């Protein structure tokens, strides 16, 4: 029984010796496979398969697509995986017409861009040079130009601009109306025959009040006049030669 036990022990040791000698070979082989796989993957990721072939634009109305294609032509041919979306996003927001931009990668070789444009809300007129500037609802300057359907304003004041946009729909039919923003607490409207002082609230009620007395002012032919609508129960009209109070 001692001999059998000794023989079994030697076989076990022999087998263990073979396993110990094989370990470095397996380690080297595994490392080589990993290195080869890494460089193979890098080569695949850098291949022409991921070269950008197209930018797909969406959401454009005011912005010229051809101008965008030209501006971002440098993107074409780049590797999509390594492309910096943040760089494109920043460049898009530098365009005054762009309010928001969503840029995404579409594998294997395209970029998708969805834009939210700013919408012109008013025309600011320089009373000295008559230069016209389009502003959006937040007051951001878009470009020089004019759109007939937009309210016209002078002396832009950020503290009064939002209130003026509330007033503007009431004046939609009055092409001669020019909203004066020089005083935020008293927004004025310049009409062909006179000036209205509307304050900073209750615009609808005060405009309706003026509408009731406008015909009477035309009948009296007292232009030019100034009509103060800030009083609760009356319209105070002043002319160069006289003053009058008209009950509501």
Confidence of residue 49 (pLDDT cuts 50, 70, 90): confident
Confidence of residue 24 (pLDDT cuts 50, 70, 90): confident
CATH number for the domain spanning 210: value is: 3.40.50
Are residue 128 and residue 110 in the same domain, yes or no?
no
User: Facing residues of 221 across strands?
Assistant: none
Average pLDDT over residues 215-235: 90
In a domain, 77, yes or no: yes
Q: What is the rounded distance in angstroms from the CA atom of residue 247 to the CA atom of residue 192?
A: 23
Return the higher-pLDDT residue of 206 and 24: 206
The pLDDT of residue 128 is above 80: yes
In a domain, 228, yes or no: yes
| 3 state DSSP class of 133 | strand
Q: What is the pLDDT of residue 91?
A: 95
Are residue 105 and residue 158 in the same domain, yes or no?
no
Average pLDDT over residues 203-227: 91
Q: What is the pLDDT of residue 164?
A: 96
Return the higher-pLDDT residue of 118 and 22: 118
Average pLDDT over residues 156-173: 95
Confidence of residue 25 (pLDDT cuts 50, 70, 90): low
In a domain, 130, yes or no: yes
Distance of CA 217 to the CA centre of its chain: 45
The pLDDT of residue 210 is above 90: yes
Are residue 98 and residue 209 in the same domain, yes or no?
no
The pLDDT of residue 190 is above 50: yes
Are residue 166 and residue 234 in the same domain, yes or no?
yes
In a domain, 133, yes or no: yes
67-102 burial code (b ≥16 CB/10 A, e <16): ebeeebeebeeeebeebeeeebeebbeebebbbebe
In a domain, 162, yes or no: yes
- Domain end point (choices 99, 117, 135): 117
**Spatial CA neighbour of 102 closest among 110, 92, 94:** 92
Are residue 113 and residue 142 in the same domain, yes or no?
no
pLDDT tens digits, residue range 194-203?
999 999 999 9
Average pLDDT over residues 143-148: 92
- Domain end point (choices 66, 91, 117): 117
Are residue 103 and residue 133 in the same domain, yes or no?
no
- Domain end point (choices 66, 83, 117): 117
Sheet architecture: strand order including 194-197: 141-144, 132-136, 120-125, 152-154, 178-180, 188-190, 194-197, 225-228, 234-239, 243-247
In a domain, 242, yes or no: yes
Average pLDDT over residues 8-12: 45
Average of per-residue pLDDT values in the chain = 84
For the ranges 7-16, 43-52, 136-145, 167-176, which has the lowest average pLDDT?
A: 7-16
Q: Give the chain's domain count.
A: 2
Are residue 174 and residue 221 in the same domain, yes or no?
yes
Confidence of residue 17 (pLDDT cuts 50, 70, 90): very low
% of residues, the chain, pLDDT over 90: 66
For the ranges 18-27, 64-73, 116-125, which has the lowest average pLDDT?
A: 18-27
Strand pairing report for 225-228 and 194-197: parallel
CATH number for the domain spanning 71: value is: 3.10.20.310
In a domain, 20, yes or no: no
Are residue 111 and residue 154 in the same domain, yes or no?
no
Are residue 74 and residue 171 in the same domain, yes or no?
no
| Domain assignment of residue 67, given as a range | 48-117
In a domain, 23, yes or no: no
Are residue 110 and residue 126 in the same domain, yes or no?
no
The answer to whether 117 touches 60, Cβ cutoff 8 Å, is yes
Are residue 64 and residue 105 in the same domain, yes or no?
yes
Backbone angles phi, psi at 79, to 5 degrees: -80, 125
Q: What is the rounded distance in angstroms from the CA atom of residue 246 to the CA atom of residue 208?
A: 14
Are residue 86 and residue 127 in the same domain, yes or no?
no
Q: Tokens 């800030």 appear where?
A: 230
């Amino acid at each position: 029984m001692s001999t059998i036990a000794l023989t079994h022990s030697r076989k076990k040791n022999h087998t263990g010796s073979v396993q110990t000698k094989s370990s470095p070979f397996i380690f080297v082989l595994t490392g080589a496979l990993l290195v080869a796989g890494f460089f193979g993957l890098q080569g695949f990721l850098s291949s022409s398969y991921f070269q950008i072939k197209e930018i797909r634009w969406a959401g454009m109305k005011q912005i010229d697509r051809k101008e965008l294609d030209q501006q971002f032509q440098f993107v074409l041919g780049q590797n999509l995986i390594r492309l910096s979306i943040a760089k494109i996003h920043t460049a898009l927001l530098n365009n005054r017409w762009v309010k928001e931009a969503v840029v995404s990668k579409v594998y294997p070789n395209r970029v998708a861009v969805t834009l939210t444009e700013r919408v012109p809300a008013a025309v600011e007129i320089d009373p000295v040079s008559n230069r016209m500037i389009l502003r959006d609802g937040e007051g951001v300057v878009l470009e020089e130009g004019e759109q007939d359907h937009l309210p016209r304003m002078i002396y832009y004041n950020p503290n009064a601009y939002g209130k003026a946009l509330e007033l503007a729909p009431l004046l939609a039919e009055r092409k001669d109306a020019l909203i004066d923003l020089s005083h935020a607490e008293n927004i004025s409207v310049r009409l062909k025959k006179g000036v209205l002082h509307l304050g900073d609230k209750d615009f609808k009620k005060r405009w309706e009040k003026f509408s009731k007395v406008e015909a009477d002012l035309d009948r009296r032919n007292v232009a030019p006049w100034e009509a103060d609508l800030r009083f609760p129960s009356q319209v105070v009209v002043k002319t160069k030669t006289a003053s009058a109070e008209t009950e509501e």
